[in-house]
A and B are shown apart, each in its own frame.
Chain A
Amino acid sequence: MTAIRQWLKNISFTYASIYTLVSFRILFGLMLFFSTLRFILNGWVNDLYITPKFYFTYYGFDWVHPLSPLGMQLLFGLLIILSLFISLGLFYRLSTTAFFCIFTYIELIDKTNYLNHYYFISLISFLLIFLPAHQYFSIDTYIGITKKTKKVHAWTINILKFQLAVVYIYAGISKLNYHWLIEAQPLSNWLKHQSDLPLIGGLMEYDFTAYVFSWGGALFDLCIPFILLNRKYRLFGYALVVFFHVLTSLMFPIGVFPFVMIVSTLIFFSEGFHEKLISGVQKIIPFRFEMRNPKLILPPSKKSRKILSSLLGLYITIQLLVPMRYLFYDGKLFWNEQGYRFSWRVMLIEKAGYTQFYIHDQIGRKKLIDNSTYLTKQQEKMMSTQPDMILQYAHHLRDEYSDTLIIEGKEKIYLKIPKVTADIRVALFNKGNRQFIDPNMNLSNVKRGLHQKKWVLDYEE
């Protein structure tokens, strides 16, 4: 026990060089800058946050609404500026806090756009708020509003390593399933369309290749944090990181995620490496950031150590537990997707859905809804396979048609709170589409929430 306590104390409250944090701040800030810029240039601000008429909010966050079109554009403009501020270390605490709040707010608007790497960015920008990454080689210290520091407490670096390890290890654990390992699904299907890849394209036709990729991918995810932690194998591990992520970015439309990981994993490198990196940058820029009279940081008092330890412990516990919450739900995870998000499950399933929603009137007739009236193509696509979104959309339709008088020809139809049903076909792993929910279930009355969605039919193997 005492050994563990001592170890925890060592990785938290011993001193470490600030260079690691500084280069992480600079590189991660640049990463944020380029990915936000790319987002804007692709016209996604408009497509995702201005065009839609309806947004799929997260349970408990229904109060989150998008701003006006101009407001949304300004927010993204602000993110661009803030990301540069973070990189430069200007008004660092304010910039990181504002970046975290704005970015997370935008992510909370519509779960259609949920991506694990956006969640990752939210978490890292949250952590950055509390890390003294601006206390050297930053505009804040250059202009003197922040004192320079040479040493930081080890936890400030190790919490980032922990976060990265969580991403990889949980991604690895989620691959340990029947489909991934035994059927090599979904890769065996995806790879067959990749025969155009340079050099290795010819291998894609073989079943064997899909197994190599599946098992290799799982092994990579599970082992890479440990390889990177080991000084001896670090360079080899980083070469693997670069190879793995570049390959996936060539093969799949996963955007900037591979590059976020390639940059972030540099945190595992030694202080010396980061010091060299910073001195290298120092040589090519005209501003001098000499380390004169650094502020001495004192060992934390016993009380602040206790508070800090419990906060870190809380964060770590949450990070470890959240991806496991799917265990509380019955049924096939890939089918009902309960507890699927925020769990580092990437590239795991091949799934597509087709929905027909009906509004019922008082005398049992039903009207077929044209989804494109309410949803964008992307929203419809994401909704079609995810029960919580199906329910939200059904409730939206209920509300749209509640207390409404509809005139059809000579007929007047009054709807109080109409029954809403949906006929949904979902195909998982190319095994033929199946009925997804009970087509007679009145979704109008079904409560939203985190409880088991019993109205989703069991997956018939």
Chain B
Amino acid sequence: MNNPTFQISHARVRLVFSILLTSISFISCKKKGCIDPNATNYNAQAQVEDNSCTYADFNRAEMLGNICDNYIVPAYNNFNSQTTSLKDITTAFSNERSLENFLAIRAQWREALLSWQDVSFIDFGPAEFIVLKNQVNLFPADTTLINTNIALGGYNLEYSSNNVAKGFQALDFLLNQTNLSDQEHVNYFINNNDATSYILDLAINLQVNSQSVINNWSTYRSSFINNNSSNAAGSSVSNLVNGLCSHYETYIRKGKIGLPLGIFNGFSQQEMPELVECYFYGQSLPFAYRAIESMKTYINGQSYNDNTEGLGLDDYMDHVGATSGNTNLSVEINNQIDEILTSLMAINDPLSNEILTNKNGVTLCYSKLQELVPLMKLDMTSALGVLITYQDNDGD
């Protein structure tokens, strides 16, 4: 402060110059017009922007319709057919407990769990209503409770207290028991009718829940598409974006990698390998990879079955001109997702072991996952105007 120089306010300089430039451009002979190639009235001859650009009206209903019809419904249909098939195969096994039938269950269990990853982040509407994520894939499973349920019978899987004893992770525990060979698993079920009927009940429960969600979507669909009048809290865009962001933050970033890695474990950051998804199966990464990959399809409005491009959140972000640094926000988000996928490819299963032996690799993975959080939670939500408002505000 000893130096009596005055401070230049860049904002004010820009203000003055902008006014000057605008006035000059009005009287200059340069051709004015819209110079944004994305605009509908892009003028190739124009040299000076005159703020006349008009853009194709972004059709939220069309975006919601596309996401619903080409991603959400087919993805739930696939999930439902996978769980139906799991139920059928488990029924077959309970009738004829052969090694072949047992291996078929395990293979189908894996397929069905992969198909769950495609719909996990559609965390609103019918799925949120029955808290599908907790009924289907809560981990770690409570192995004591599972054994108690089998031993005592009389359990009711509809009780939320049994969420930790059902779903894919309970099946993981029973289908991938430690130190048992495949044949020994078959023998276990031959000698234990209660365990056999338990896995059948688990498979049925999965199917019932997936069926209920897909059924509800047939009626929810129209209100989902029509609830597009704004992006305020409670609108479809807001539900979709909030469901995606919070599911990603809590259940993918934190649940699949962060928690087992020990990031949330106090000062010691002690790893908790037993918290990985499918601990007993010994493979967690295919599921994490699939969840991220599907999320990318979903954000970009691609179709579930053949990845055909359609109107998605990426187009909406582009429409409002959201940027991150010098790049489009949609590009930045896609790049970040690709980096996550690359870092996931660089680590190996079993993840429970990898977090102990290759902590750096998994930590890198986590930091890539972490970097996506502000991009989605801050930049994407503000770009789409779905900032959550719980009370009145001044707009600030």
Contact = CB atoms under 8 A, between A and B. Distances in A.
A354 interface: yes
Interface in A28-77: 42, 44, 47-48
Contacts of B53: 207
B395 A115 contact: no
Interface string B354-379: 00000000000000000001110111
A354 B373 contact: yes
Contacts of A456: none
B15 A181 contact: yes
Contacts of B220: none
Interface string B369-394: 00001110111011111011111111
Nearest to B55: A205
B329 interface: yes
A372 to B, nearest CB: 11
B322 interface: yes
A151 interface: no
A252 interface: yes
Interface stretch (A136-144, A152-160, A405-413): A405-413
A212 to B, nearest CB: 11
Contact of B378 (A47, A113, A117, A352): A352
B231 A432 contact: no
Interface stretch (A98-106, A267-275, A340-348, A441-449): A340-348
Contacts of B11: 177-178, 332
B392 A255 contact: yes
Nearest to A202: B57
Contacts of A113: 391
B208 interface: no
A279 to B, nearest CB: 36
Nearest to A369: B264
Interface in A311-361: 330, 332, 340, 345-354, 359, 361
B392 A196 contact: no
B52 interface: yes
Given A196-B229, A427-B382, A254 B268 contact: no
A330 B11 CA distance: 13
B394 A432 contact: no
A430 B269 CA distance: 34
B271 to A, nearest CB: 12
Interface string A184-209: 00100110111110000010011110
A409 B391 contact: no
B15 A182 contact: yes
Interface string A355-393: 000010100011110100000011001000000000000
B127 to A, nearest CB: 21
A5 interface: no
A409 B266 CA distance: 10
B267 interface: yes
Interface in B260-296: 263-270
Residue with the highest number of chain A CB atoms closer than 10 Å, among B10, B375, B377, B396: B396
A189 to B, nearest CB: 6
B251 to A, nearest CB: 15
B263 to A, nearest CB: 6
Residue with the highest number of chain B CB atoms closer than 10 Å, among A177, A352, A381: A352
Nearest to A337: B396
Nearest to A429: B382
Given A196-B229, A205-B54, A432-B329, A408 B267 contact: yes
A354 B378 contact: yes
Residue with the highest number of chain A CB atoms closer than 10 Å, among B12, B329, B373, B390: B390
Given A195-B57, A206-B54, A461-B10, A47 B15 contact: no
Given A345-B396, A432-B379, A409 B387 contact: no
Interface string B331-360: 010000000000000000000000000000
B154 interface: no
Given A115-B392, A192-B58, A368-B263, A352 B387 contact: yes
A226 interface: no
A348 B396 CA distance: 6
Contacts of A409: 268, 270
Nearest to B370: A356
A179 B392 CA distance: 23
A44 B393 CA distance: 13
B268 A365 contact: yes
23 contacts: A42-B391, A115-B392, A182-B14, A182-B15, A186-B395, A189-B382, A190-B385, A190-B395, A193-B384, A195-B57, A195-B60, A207-B53, A254-B393, A332-B11, A349-B396, A352-B378, A359-B267, A378-B391, A406-B267, A408-B270, A425-B374, A432-B325, A433-B374
Interface of A: 42, 44, 47-48, 113, 115-117, 177-178, 181-182, 186, 189-190, 192-196, 202, 205-208, 211, 252-257, 330, 332, 340, 345-354, 359, 361, 365-368, 370, 377-378, 381, 406, 408-409, 411, 413, 425-427, 430-433, 461
Interface of B: 7, 10-12, 14-15, 18, 51-58, 60, 228-232, 263-270, 319-325, 329, 332, 373-375, 377-379, 381-385, 387-396
